[in-house]
Amino acid sequence: MAKYINPYTDFGFKKLFGEEANKDLLIDFLNQLLPPHHQIADLTFRNPESLADLSIERRAILDIHCRATSGERFIVEMQKAKVKYFKDRSLFYVTFPIRDQAQQGDWNFRLDAIYFVAILDFEYDEAEERRKFRRDVALKDQDGDLFFDKLHFRFLQMPLFNKTENELETQFDKWCYFLKHLETFDHIPNIFDESIFRKAFDIASLANLTPEQREQYEESLIQYRDLKSALETAVEEKAIEIAKNLFQTTLTDAEIAQYTSLPLEEITKLRKETQTKRN
């Protein structure tokens, strides 16, 4: 039996990072991702229910309005969902905080900076990106120079975070290790012996949930597992189809396994089955 919530569920994600009483956790986490001039002094949550055209899917996103230590204001959109056309949706999602800054009357179109932060429990399909745990994306020109400093994306592919407890060096490392392994912990590791993480573990403890909250969490966990299973099945089916097409090339089974991320023994079995059907 798990002792702590799964932070990738809607309930777990919002319990840790989406409640007013816990915003110190969110501030500490986000400050590890943001540049020095946008370190958060305080933040407020915008109520997504106030937007009439929001889909149920988008309500899982945290819309966070921040005030930097410098006094400058900016916006963070934060989500953790695994969805089809993820990059397309990420771009679409940031149009909401852009549009919402529009002012009636004589407006000079000056915008607050926007950061889109995604905590992903999956890897992108593109092979070249599987080697990048963290991707910081901004608008740049053909020479790689920053073109616009008010739109940034932070993508964390959590399966690619492979540091062990002894290798954790920064606060950012600790947060990533915490999120990736939270559901599997049976005790609080010594590396987390500081107030911010003691509070995080306390909030994440299943024993501290009310019966109503426990019921909400169990429902959220079922939905998460069903979606994850469905998506993993779809990804595997796509990989199998790619492998079958590659059997017509000169690639070896080992090379196809590396390309598709399927186990070598599965590729070998699949090749034999394919040859048998052709014969």
pLDDT of residue 60: 60
pLDDT of residue 102: 86
pLDDT of residue 172: 97
pLDDT above 90 as % of the chain: 53
* Residue 94 pLDDT exceeds 80: yes
pLDDT of residue 80: 74
Task: Determine the average pLDDT of the residues in 9-20.
Answer: 92
Task: Give the pLDDT band (50/70/90) at residue 50.
Answer: very low
At 231-246, the pLDDT tens digits run 677 778 888 998 899 9
User: What average pLDDT does the chain have?
Assistant: 87
Is the alpha carbon torsion for 178, 220, 134, 26 positive or negative? negative
Whole-number Å distance between alpha carbons of 181 and 37: 31
At 194-215, the pLDDT tens digits run 999 999 999 999 999 999 999 9
- For 259, counting Cβ atoms within 10 Å of its Cβ (0-12 exposed, 13-18 middle, 19+ buried), the class is middle
Q: Which of 32-41, 48-57, 208-217 has the lowest mean pLDDT?
A: 48-57
pTM, to two decimals: 0.81
pLDDT of residue 146: 93
- For 76, counting Cβ atoms within 10 Å of its Cβ (0-12 exposed, 13-18 middle, 19+ buried), the class is buried
Residue 214: both structure tokens together: 């426990």
pLDDT of residue 123: 78
Whole-number Å distance between alpha carbons of 93 and 118: 11
